[in-house]
A and B are shown apart, each in its own frame.
Chain A
């Protein structure tokens, strides 16, 4: 019940295209859903996060779509650029008082071809 399933495992998109990565969770108590971007040899960096009281959140070229009934959320990268080539992780957690651990998806290796 703590799993977060992420797909696809790898993705190749042409420059200027839309990259879409999907995640599904099981625990309905989760109320915090972040996406992280990780470059080789670096720690993950928070890209964008959403809470279940909204269905969509957009920050620049990055958009999270959230479907509470389906227990799914996705990351859309518009106008994908070669600099977006990285590994992306979705995660889910609880936002209550104190620090709560995140459950991570398996990761998606994104390659943007120039």
Chain B
């Protein structure tokens, strides 16, 4: 089945620094990658949708200059949290699915726990 590999699984960074999270599709071409944020005991909140070779589409209220998304290839999408602050601490998850056909299964990465200190 389709696999999305997400790294790192956890990261601790100092306030004011930037952190990059990578998501790779291992066995399919991910033309679109969804980036979610999840707070403890809450549902997934869609942050942005990235499309290979074009600018990401951000959901309302998400700062595009703080959460930089790059989708330069069909197998790699990255989320960079810039000038991180403690309120950016959260669980970040990416998701994609193989294009076409009747396979509608969206696959999620394993998530990245970001702690900003």
- The reply to whether A43 and B108 form a contact with Cβ atoms under 8 Å apart is yes
> A45 near B: Cβ within 8 Å?
yes
Find residues 77-102 in chain B having any chain A CB closer than 8 Å to their own CB.
91, 93, 95-97, 99-100
With contacts defined as CB atoms under 8 Å apart, how many contacts are there between chain A and chain B in the complex? 58
Interface of A is mostly: loop
Q: How far is the CB of A110 from chain B (nearest CB, A)?
A: 13
- The smallest C-beta distance from B23 to any residue of chain A, in angstroms, reads 10
Tell me, yes or no, whether B105 is within 8 Å of chain A by CB. Answer: yes
Does A44 count as interface, using CB distance less than 8 angstroms? Answer: yes
Q: Which residues of B contact A (CB under 8 A)?
A: 6, 31-32, 34, 41-44, 46, 49, 91, 93, 95-97, 99-100, 104-111, 113
Starting from the known contacts A104-B43, A106-B43, 16 additional A-B residue pairs (CB-CB under 8 Å) come to A36-B108, A41-B111, A41-B113, A43-B95, A43-B109, A44-B44, A44-B93, A89-B43, A93-B104, A95-B104, A98-B99, A99-B31, A99-B96, A101-B46, A104-B44, A107-B42
Measured CB to CB, the residues of A under 8 A from B are: 32, 34, 36, 41-46, 49, 51, 89, 93, 95, 97-99, 101-102, 104-107, 109
